[in-house]
Amino acid sequence: MNNKDISPGMVTLLATATGLIVASLYYAQTLVGPISASTGLSPAAAGLVVTLTQIGYTLGLLFIVPLGDLLENRRLIFTGLLFTSAMLVLAAVSSSAWMFLTAALGIGLGSVAAQVIVPFAAHLSQEATRGVTVGKVVSGLLLGIMLSRPAASLVADATSWHVVFAGAAVLVLIVAFVLRAKLPVRMPQHHIGYPKLMGSLWHLFRQTPVLRRRAAYHAGLFGSFSLFWTVTPLMLSGPQFHLSQTGIAIFALVGMSGAIASPIAGKLADQGHTLIATAAALALGVIGFALPLLVPGSREVALAVLVIASIVLDMGVAANLVLGQRAIFSLGAEVRSRLNGVYFALFFAGGAAGSALGGWVYATHGWHGALLAGMAFNGAALLYWVTEYLGHTSQHKAA
């Protein structure tokens, strides 16, 4: 435990940095249409624009983030960000599908630097305030995700999607040098080799029920979240709504208000209310898909309902992410980076499945089919939560 708690300035820096880094994963979400048209991707394969980034991120979480328990953290973050910037440049100059998809995979791999930063924030925090600190940093991360969509749409509308990725490359490069200057050196105490480090991931997964459960919950929520933001821009630009990229940007900008749930969830976790708060987060995910499915109406009403649904869904995702990280960060500082890497890898695999499935379901079964698929992701997670609740109740009765 640290004698001195993390400073507000450092929390702000880490929150801003994670937001700018993770934004790189999501610029493409609202630009699936123009990127596909420019690079020659078919409508059924359009989901690959997002899916390849998420696959790269998942691989990075499994094979790069655990190095945070082995290598000096500041150098690891800096190197990852230099690589990300280079991949963003490749995306910016892409003229073919294979070129852009290669860049997308690389952007995902390098952007895992953000998930070395989050355990860094937990390491710098005292136990009593760790949930709030992680909540604030994750708020920055989620704001980056949510702001990336409208920012990308607005810039693309004014210029082109190529400019979006070129600008992102510059931003990530600036973040890399600022963090190298401001972050303290953190050299982990481990002296084991990389093969043993990687081998320990499976052991941690098998021996940590909390990790498995929290990853399953968020895989369901994040799968639905990725599905929603893959298909909704296609729906909004389609014949029912006819929204421009600027219109889609405004829609995504309103949805970002769901990030307010992060610090609230962190506070609830610090107070010991994780179980009930998790149920609320998962229920919000179900409601986010039920609303547009069950409330038909005119174009204006349907659009308003969809805006509310996006806020509700984003709130559920924001809250549940913080609840999960607070739970696994309480398990031990010496394995924190590995736990975080496995946690994110598992639920990002759910995200990749959601975005890939979303593109296919929307192309073959339409909007309602996509909504039902999204609801199924969250419904399965909520049913799994019931088993935890029943186990918790039986333990109390036995006591």
Domains of the chain by range and CATH?
8-398 (1.20.1250.20)
Position 108 pLDDT exceeds 90: yes
Position 366 pLDDT exceeds 70: yes
> Comparing C-alpha atoms, which of 52, 16, 54, 20 is closest to residue 170?
20
Position 298 pLDDT exceeds 80: no
Dist. CA 91–CA 103, nearest whole Å: 5
Could you tell me the two tokens for 263? 């610090």
Q: How confident is the model at residue 331 (pLDDT cuts 50, 70, 90)?
A: confident
Could you tell me the two tokens for 280? 């609320």
Where would I find the H helices in the chain? Answer: 8-23, 32-39, 48-63, 73-92, 97-110, 114-124, 130-158, 161-182, 194-207, 209-236, 245-255, 261-270, 274-294, 299-329, 336-398
Q: Is this model's pTM higher than 0.85 or not?
A: no
Q: How confident is the model at residue 175 (pLDDT cuts 50, 70, 90)?
A: very high
Question: Of 152-161, 251-260, 335-344, 362-371, which range is least confident?
Answer: 251-260
Burial class (CB in 10 A: 0-12, 13-18, 19+), 5: middle
Query: Residue 379 gets which letter from DSSP?
Result: H
Burial class (CB in 10 A: 0-12, 13-18, 19+), 79: middle
Q: Regarding predicted confidence, which is higher, 73 or 123?
A: 73
Question: Of 169-178, 188-197, 220-229, 312-321, which range is least confident?
Answer: 188-197
> Comparing C-alpha atoms, which of 309, 263, 16, 255 is closest to residue 146?
255
State the helix-helix crossing angle for 161-182 and 8-23, rounded to 10 degrees.
150
Q: What is the mean pLDDT of the chain?
A: 87
Position 146 pLDDT exceeds 70: yes
